[in-house]
Structure 1
Amino acid sequence: MSLTSLPVLAGGINDPFGTEAMAPLKPSPQLSARVGEAPCATALPASALTAVDAVDLALCNHPQTREVWAAARAQAALVGVAKAGWLPNLDASASTTRFQYENNAYTRNAAALTLSWLLVDFGQRSANVENAQQLLNAAAATQDATVQSLFLAALQSYYSAQATQAAVISANEAERSARESYQAANARYEVGVATPADRLQAQTALSQATLNRIRAEGDARNALGALANALGFAAQQRIVLADLPAAPAEAVFQKEVDALIAEAQARRPDLKAAEAQLKAAEASIDLARAQGRPTISLGAGPSWQDSAGVITQGGSVGLTLNVPIFSGFDTTYRVRSAAAQADVRAAQRDRIRNQIALDVWKAYQSLTTATQSLKTTADLVASAEQSERVALGRYKAGVGTVLDLLVAQSALASARLQRIQAQLDWNVYRATLAQSMGALDYTLLQAAAEGRP
């Protein structure tokens, strides 16, 4: 390696190889759709909590994000360790010795400055740097995969909390309808045009609706507690959620599954991490082989000695050739072990590639089902509302039965809950498909806020 190829010490004495710039950004609001040096959020916003706010808080406060970021920075520093092997070493030594011979005594002082530089190692340092660099790439990709997993978990908690709150609203509507039916049945009973059975059936339906509302409120409180915990707060922390966004009018996905799988295999960070791990293992094979090859080193430096008042100065310069002849088959087994590790990494990469295809297939099919369910449940709610209005009007007019009315109201309550579940499924599976493709970031939330699929 020539002097002109040595790294420029542009990063300062504390980081001459610029390893801090090699490390990925800290997981924070600085994901692909966010720019600037925005600080991590540590408190709930003053306004209603949006999905973007929830993700920011989860990524900033979750210990796992700090763990993977620290691991990436540690590996970046190891790249600097590997690159340091290209530079010379400069050592200083000094000694003082007191000699006593019968009645004679004198002191010897010595000092030396030694420069040592490994000039030729037949690929050992290059393989070491390549290994460290690929491990850094793997650490950065692992951080991306972890961030996307936490991103998805935060969204799932947030959407679940929104869905439970929507279920409370639906339960209140069902209770209101049941109370109206009871009042109508009671009024008809009091004027003698309805039987006691009608009033009792309406009373039973009202009590059941009230019980459903109480349970829905309990589920909503539990979901908010789980969301608070996911964001790094105590479960009792009061959280006000933004309104559930309306589903887009046309939630259509035109890409073929094969194209989605190919795109996922090009983008998934866990596959990139596996590829980098394989390349690092292959570099380890080269490193193991190079460790059994000769090396040529340069040594030079001045020396000084004061012995009983006699001062001598000198210096030396020379080349040292080190040729390993026999090391007890150490190199042979190191190469064999490194090759086996490379086979392990290759198998892991292939397994992850197959898993990606399955992840995308399942997420796509789930999202397709949820998309179809959105339209169907919208029609279901509309028809159930119309049926409930007709049944109530007929019963008040005396031409319908209370059983017809209660069945219509039960069908409407069920349709509303299925609509809420369909919206929850669509939001979650949409995020799941993005995560399975390695494309889960803030652009997904911006599209949802704008009502785009």
Structure 2
Amino acid sequence: MLVHAEESIWYKEGDPLNTRIETLPRIPEGYRGSGSPCAQLDLGKPLTLAEVADASLCNNPQTSEIWASVRVQAALLGVAKSAYLPTITDNVSTNSNVLIPESGTRRNPSVNLSNSLVASYLLYDFGNRNANLENARQLLLSASASQSSVVQNLLLVATVAYYQVQANIAALNAAREAERAGEESFKAANARYRAGVATPADMLQAQTAFAQFTLARITSEGNLQIAYGNLVNVMGLPAQQKVELISTANDAPATILEDVSSLIEQAGLRRPDLVASEAQVKAAQAGIDASKAATKPTIFVTASNSVQDGSQLSSNNNSTLGLTLSIPIFAGYAPTYRIRVAEATADLRAAQRDRLRLQISLDVWNAYQNLRTALQSINATKVLLESAEQSYRVALGRYKAGVGNIIDTLNAQSALASARQQSIQARLNSNIARATLAQAMGALDSAMIQSLPNASIPSNN
């Protein structure tokens, strides 16, 4: 899923100042705008989570947008580097004079050709170029880190959408199973009513429960279609595109939870948005230096060669070499306020970085606690589901044997349907919590996606 940035076609098209070496070493492979071809997605077969993630990186417009912003900053870095090179201009002009004396006799015109070649180089500017170059370099680093952050966020959204579809498939299966059980209870109550051993109330209560389960099944079908629409939208496909997912049933893998303080510390080093924020602070600090240096003198060295050639005049060839000292004296206090803007911007970026660092610690803490809760809930719902299944079988058997009542049967049936839904939700929460914790730590990447199960919701067939 990841390749070296210098393999991108965009860099090969022309980068004389080597701005590619200033970018982060890794970029997503194959998504629109990167220059690498996207892997062909076969929508005719069930898709794995990794394939969904790759398609999202390849087709989602967010990746094209962030890649374009990185290219903008890389080009601006090239502009900053170009200030260290001389500028050369060639000025060519021509004019002709036609002299007509009083005698009326026309003479040949006089044609003058002038060619002036001027080279200029900035010798010293009190660090203005250095500050501008550092500012551009840090902004490129920020854009590259923001690219990684966008990629991780998109991977998380794709992962959540994938598991939402899986959960809704399982919820629909559970709803169909509950509807089937409701129909069985209704048939049993109706048979006993026709045999004269049950009251009309028993039959009507069972029929009502059956209708409610049918309604729940219809709702689940609608929710599944919405989940499919959200998934293909993340993948950059139209909402009506039909896709099928791998339905292999695996239990959610056990996750060893480390010390939460260690996880928060790791997140402070790995989160790409924090890296981007740090780069923004350094860029703002370089902006202060650039604003201050802009108020200082500059020294240029210039060289020129001028050639004038006339058809009836002698040619002239003049060469000059000189130094130019430019001293700013007064600019209406604009430089003073530019420095104030730069200083306030640096304070703003520093405050935003500190706020983000606090938010990261909260993100990791919440994701850690959610994962702990989800893993414990899986074990609890497993016991709940087993006991609910046994309770329903006993209650239905007693009712069919004529020693139980319809209320106990319907209550056990409802408890079983609820237990199935809770089991589905616990497994969904577990998968999403693992991906969320990885994203909160800045570690949601190709390897993490591959480690997640394609489907952790058991079938009810």
TM-score (norm 2): 0.87
**Paired residue for 2:304?**
301
**Number of residue pairs matched by the alignment:** 437
Shifted more, 422-431 versus 242-251: the winner is: 242-251
Given that 1:58 and 1:150 are in contact with CA atoms closer than 8 Å, whether structure 2 keeps it comes out as yes
Structure 1 residues 427 and 449: CA distance shift in structure 2, 3 A? closer
Query: Residues 260-275 of structure 1 correspond to what in structure 2 (within 5 A)?
Result: 260-275=263-278
Residue 418 of structure 1: CA displacement?
0.7
Shift of 1:96: 1.5
What is the identity percentage for the equivalent residue pairs of Structure 1 and Structure 2?
50
**Which residue does 1:333 correspond to in 2?**
337
- Which residue does the alignment assign to 1:115? 119
Give per-residue Cα distances to partners, 1:266-310, cap 9 Å, x unaligned. 111111111111101111111112112222222223321124321
Partner in structure 1 of residue 398 of structure 2: 394
Residue among 67, 77, 92 paired with 1:94: 92
The offset of 1:388, in angstroms, is: 1.2
Decide whether the 8 Å contact of 1:155 with 1:428 is kept in 2: yes
Partner of 1:170: 174
For 1:89-127, what per-residue CA distance to the aligned partner results, in whole angstroms no more than 9, with x for missing partners? 121111123346774963322112222111222211111
The answer as to 2:10 corresponding to 1:14 is: no
- Greater shift, 280-289 or 154-163, is seen at 154-163
Give the aligned partner of residue 363 of structure 2.
359
> 40-49 vs 358-367, which deviates more?
40-49
Question: Which one-letter code corresponds to 1:66 in the other structure?
Answer: S
Between the aligned partners of 1:405 and 1:16, the Cα distance in structure 2 is 79
Equivalent of 1:279 in 277, 282, 307: 282
Indicate the residue corresponding to 1:78 in structure 2: 76
Secondary structure of the residue that 2:251 maps to in structure 1?
coil
| 1:343 maps to amino acid | D
Which deviates the most, 187-196 or 282-291?
187-196
The CA RMSD over aligned residues, in Å, is 2.7
Task: Report the AA paired with residue 285 of structure 1.
Answer: I
* Equivalent residues in 2 for 1:188-337, closer than 5 Å: 188-243=192-247, 245-248=249-252, 250-253=254-257, 255-307=258-310, 308-337=312-341
Cα distance between partner residues in 1 of 2:147 and 2:71 = 11
1:373 aligns to what SS in structure 2? Answer: helix
Deviates more, 1:221-230 or 1:343-352: 221-230
Match of 2:7 in 1: none
1:427 matches 2:431: yes
Give the 3-state SS of the residue equivalent to 2:315 in structure 1: strand
What amino acid does structure 2 have at the position aligned with 1:437?
A: M
Q: Deviations over 1:58-79 (max 9, x none)?
A: 2222222111110100110111
Q: Which whole-Å CA distance do the structure 2 matches of 1:12 and 1:232 have between them?
A: 27
Residues 161 and 223, structure 1, Cα contact 8 Å, conserved in 2: yes
Provide the secondary structure at the position in 2 that maps to 1:94. strand
TM-score (norm 1): 0.89
CA distance in 1, matches of 2:19, 2:416: 62
Moved more, 47-56 or 18-27: 18-27
Contact 1:162–1:244 (Cα < 8 Å) also in 2: no
- Residues 163-195 of structure 1 show CA distances to partners (whole Å, capped at 9, x for unaligned) of 111111001111122222223333333444333
The match for 2:145 is 141
> CA offset at residue 158 of structure 1?
1.7
Once the two structures are overlaid, the 10-residue window that deviates more, 395-404 or 142-151, is: 395-404
Cα deviation digits, residues 305-360 of structure 1 (max 9, x gap):
12432112231222223333444444333222211111111111111111112222
Q: Mean alpha-carbon deviation: is it higher for 281-290 or for 308-317?
A: 308-317
- 2:20 and 2:42 map into 1 onto residues whose CA distance is 31
Note the C-alpha offset of 1:43: 4.4
Q: CA deviation at 1:409?
A: 1.1
| Cα distance in 2 between the residues matched to 1:57 and 1:12 | 25
Tell me what 2:105 maps to.
none
Question: What per-residue deviation string (whole Å, max 9, x for no partner) do you get for residues 220-277 of structure 1?
Answer: 1222122222322232222212226533353441x22222222112111111111111
Distance 2:227 2:267 in 1: 32
| Within-5 A mapping of 1:434-445 | 434-445=438-449
Report the equivalent of 1:124.
128
Contact 1:45 1:53 (C-alpha < 8 Å) held by counterparts: no
The answer (yes or no) to whether the contact 2:48–2:454 under 8 Å persists in 1 is no
Q: Which amino acid aligns with 2:167?
A: A
